Structure 1
Amino acid sequence: MAELTLPLPAARPAATPEPVIELTGVRKTYRTGTVEFEALRGVDLRIDAGEYVAVMGPSGSGKSTLMNVLGCLDVATQGTYRLAGEDVGELDETDLADIRNRRIGFVFQQFHLLPSLSAWRNVELPLVYGHVPAAERRARAVAAMERVGLGDRLDNRPGELSGGQQQRVAVARALVGEPALLLADEPTGNLDSVSTRDVLALFDELHAQGRTIVLITHEEDVARRAQRVVRVFDGLVRTDGDPR
């Protein structure tokens, strides 16, 4: 009798990785009395793990509102925002605060370092809020400082550091919790050309290591360091090369 040969099961396609950022139809409307202003008008945006994306736009374009939504500092009026697969719109303020502390590392134009604390103690602050044990906080803060090239400046206070070094401390603080997303808002805005070059080189290194970075900037030469550029106009977004 002929041998019965069963067909092999079809190979399953590889699962598509979950994007770090996924905005679908996001709108943000501000109301003052009877006056309404729609800052975002149906934004669709996807940023995958390991991407380095610059966001640009003129004043009043909706760029700052988009940054606030991405950073969970504000919530969309309509649409869906998923951060690392989690629907941000379903979270209450306590959950949003936890998301901001654990999943997003923030770097701002102003360094926001506490002048009375040493550099490494500034870096450990997100872990303090996360109730991480003291010994682990110190080890992780030191590792983050070494990662940004400041292992020899652990005990210096912010006033004893240059502007570029202070921004590196701020980057170390953003990285210490190993967040899914590094969100940098005009991080070179207060730096001279040398410090700007150093900080952008650090972002290049982090990107090469697989870090997901969203950089908000108004400077074309800074934006060119990113993998792709998203431009915001009148509450809508367009990626460079998109014919819309």
Structure 2
Amino acid sequence: MSALPPPVIEMAGARKTYRSGQIEFEALSGIDLSVTEGEYVAIVGPSGSGKSTLMNILGCLDVLTSGSYRLGGEDVERLSEVALARVRNRQIGFVFQQFHLLPSLSALRNVELPMVYGRVEKTERRERAAAALERVGLSDRLNNRPGELSGGQQQRVAVARALAGDPTMILADEPTGNLDSASTDDVLGLFDELHAAGRTIVLITHEHDVARRARRMVTVRDGLIVSDGATQEAAA
């Protein structure tokens, strides 16, 4: 009997409360979530459901008020700000709705940038950036700047940037929000390929059509998980 893949995400009793003067708002109300290595999970919910707060916690951009969160076996709540920054740089590959590409830099240089901050040696980071761009089908666009690329191609550069550091997971926040339908299919097809290759992907979206492309859908409402199960894509 084969062993189950290790969990990448382990979250138990996760609560997040925001305070403004005498007013308190509980954005997360006690969430338990586990994602194993190689899973492709979509977290879906309407505006105000808590999914953006959950994304910030998963991405180590915010911390819990109570409960626990372990990423790759490491207790995130115990990490210093310096250690959290290191986790964000090395363990999480971010893909955002806004591509966050620097317009003055080529695709290759944009992909290299996080590795510059991670102090990866120049030759290695250039090789890794070129390999990541080849992986997303842009080996012929290394020297193009973002303004010379379509929206779908810019998002592929952003995915390559996320991949180049060989992260524990890819965390994609509304990655198709600024794309037309053809580019959306293009990017979601790329996520399918990455999942098939064994990547762990967590996709945050408010669009159920996008969420159904994942293999598991977690629905959040009022700070709670209200459903969690395989998608039709997984059953196909």
1:73, distance to aligned residue in structure 2 (A): 0.3
The equivalent residue for 2:113 is: 125
Q: Which has the higher strand share?
A: 2
1:92, distance to aligned residue in structure 2 (A): 1.1
1:101-140 matched pairs, under 5 angstroms: 101-140=89-128
1:37-116 matched pairs, under 5 angstroms: 37-116=25-104
CA displacement, residues 37-90 of structure 1 (integer Å, 9 cap, x when unaligned): 111011000000000000111111111100000000000010110000000000
The equivalent residue for 2:145 is: 157
* Structure 1 residue matching 2:109: 3-state secondary structure: helix
- Which structure is larger by alpha-carbon Rg, 1 or 2? 1
Report the number of matched residues. Answer: 230
Change (3 A) 1:30 1:169: same
* Structure 2 residue matching 1:230: 3-state secondary structure: strand
The equivalent residue for 1:195 is: 183
Gaps of 5+ in 1: 1-12
Gaps of 5+ in 2: 231-236
1:133-148 matched pairs, under 5 angstroms: 133-148=121-136
Give, in whole Å, the separation in 2 of the partners of 1:77 and 1:20: 21
Give, in whole Å, the separation in 2 of the partners of 1:201 and 1:241: 21
The equivalent residue for 2:233 is: none
Give, in whole Å, the separation in 1 of the partners of 2:147 and 2:186: 19
* Structure 2 residue matching 1:20: 3-state secondary structure: strand
Pairwise CA RMSD of aligned residues?
1.3
Deviates more, 1:230-239 or 1:97-106: 230-239
Moved over 6 A (4+): none
The equivalent residue for 1:235 is: 223
1:15, distance to aligned residue in structure 2 (A): 5.8
The equivalent residue for 1:173 is: 161
Q: 2:20 aligns with which of 11, 23, 32?
A: 32
Identity of aligned residues (%): 74
* Structure 1 residue matching 2:171: 3-state secondary structure: strand
The equivalent residue for 1:205 is: 193
TM-score by length of 1: 0.92
CA contact under 8 A between 1:228 and 1:239: conserved in structure 2?
no
CA contact under 8 A between 2:133 and 2:160: conserved in structure 1?
yes
The equivalent residue for 2:234 is: none
TM-score by length of 2: 0.95
* Structure 1 residue matching 2:7: 3-state secondary structure: coil
